[in-house]
Structure 1
Amino acid sequence: MSAITVRPFRRSDRDQLTDLVNGHAHAVMPGVSITVNAVLSQLEHEPDEFIVDPWVQERITLVAEQRGRITAAAHMVRYADRSGVGPDLRGTGELRWLLQWPDASYWPDAHLAGRSVADAALTVMRSWSVQAVLADFTLPAPGLTGVAEQWPHIGQLLDGLGFVSRRSEQVLLADVSDLPADVREDLTILRTLGECGTRFTALADGQEVGYVEIDTTINGAGRLSAPTGWADVGNLHVAESMRRQGVGSALLATAAQWLRLARADRLLAYAELDESDLASFLKRSGFQSVTTNRRAWVQTAPVQPGVS
């Protein structure tokens, strides 16, 4: 076994850390390539998390090094224990992500680096005297929230550390050119600013019968190196009495026209595992499932370092 050194992240690690992040991203999202600046920015603050990020009192990134190579890393935060912080996060520690290269013929013990950096991260959080240890992974790229099914080595690592996932979310992706094209002539669709992006509202006889909100800002400024235009569905709702009558398809067709003008060619959507009707509609509309992310991890059975 090659010697493993766990230490705080140094700026000179930035390229290798970005390679580790992108290795995991590429296995999940086609064409996603995260820039070095996006990775470094997340280590310092997360402006997109405009509600949660101000609650962070401390953040630390650790890396595991073997023979000069960064083979694992963990980024963690501590949330303040004070009024104004959400009760679910108040006084807790969270693994924002924990990544490791999988074992390979030239690195057969990479899993030991993952466990070493995880043990060190948990030791730091115990020193913080946090009330609970959470993990809800978020990498700085579209669709990469949670532990993707393409990362079984990460899921196994968390399982061995006594974490349990409380929810799962299916992530679906569509090429905008594959979205519905027909717009119902009897519907009026208005475009306004919505809660989660540009809102398209369908009206029938002056009454709202559905809406979809599309966020075209998820790329972030300088976050991705590839020119692909990404967007996601922030909200999608059709009145129950109007379902299976083409309202949802008309909303997506209108959104597709807008996305083409915005030079966005990929659209993400999300469905909880109990939202089978939503997932079926999305798949009929041109989306395909790219992953299922296990989310909302909580350490329910703490283990001693190095013991699983």
Structure 2
Amino acid sequence: MEIFARVVAAGSMSAAARDLGLSPAVVSKRLRRLEDRLGTRLLQRTTRQLALTEAGQGYHARVVAILASVEEAEDFVTRRSDRARGTLKVSAPTSFGRMHIAPHLARFLKDNPDLSFSLDLSDELIDIVGEGYDLAIRIAELEDSSLVARRLAPVHRVLCAAPAYLERAGTPASVAELQDDHVCISTRQQEIWRLDGPQGLELVRTGGPIRTNSSEVVREALLAGLGIALRSTWDVGPELREGRLQVVLPQFRASKNVGLYAVYPTRRFLPAKVRFFIDFLAQLYGPEPYWDKGLANWSR
């Protein structure tokens, strides 16, 4: 069952085999044995992709629940010994994961030697239940959900630009000037900025010479002096401290309700490995995260 669920989550037998430390031939053989025992085909196999059959879809939904129950049963013993074991599978945003999770993994794993870590970075909204993640790190203004979320830190987003751009184009004095007279760089997913200011909420429609789905491309364009961008202080804090970027219109910022969250399927029988990692991040970041230290009051 675990092999079947891992194949579905990974999208291929070879990827699942790598995750499980098995050969693709072993994975294929065990899946055939499972289908023979059940007397039905669970997966449609082609040279390029795998697809669940109707029976496979129903079986997969139940297998995921069964495996979760098995993990809960095993975690009952794990929690009593107060040790984290197994593999912790985490999803996180690309830039944040690279900058603020990966550098701290050595310390976390040193404190939890019986644990292995699987970190997948993506800016897409991941189905953590369907794809078998233990938890996801999300930067969002969270809506109602069947998932459980714990706020780890505030997220402050400010308008900023490189000094070279401001010398060339001038510094905007109002939101209207920002929209009418300046290049505002954003991803396709955030083409409208929602800014909280002295008069309440104001909307800015962005546009410019670059269109991208990558937040990291926006960051590089910003540093190259191509325009103004709305960035999180966790992303550009060092550049702001060093003067490579300057804040513009400091009285405006993105919604104050946006935060950094750990999102996980259920609070009931929370595995020790999940609980330990969430507590680790909450202590590491906290209500005044390290990336905001040394910045002016506009970062608060």
The structure with the larger Rg is 2
User: TM-score per shorter chain, which class?
Assistant: under 0.3
| Structure-1-length-normalised TM-score | 0.26
Please, what TM-score do these two structures have when normalized by structure 2? 0.27
Identify the structure with the greater strand proportion.
1
- More helix, by proportion: 2
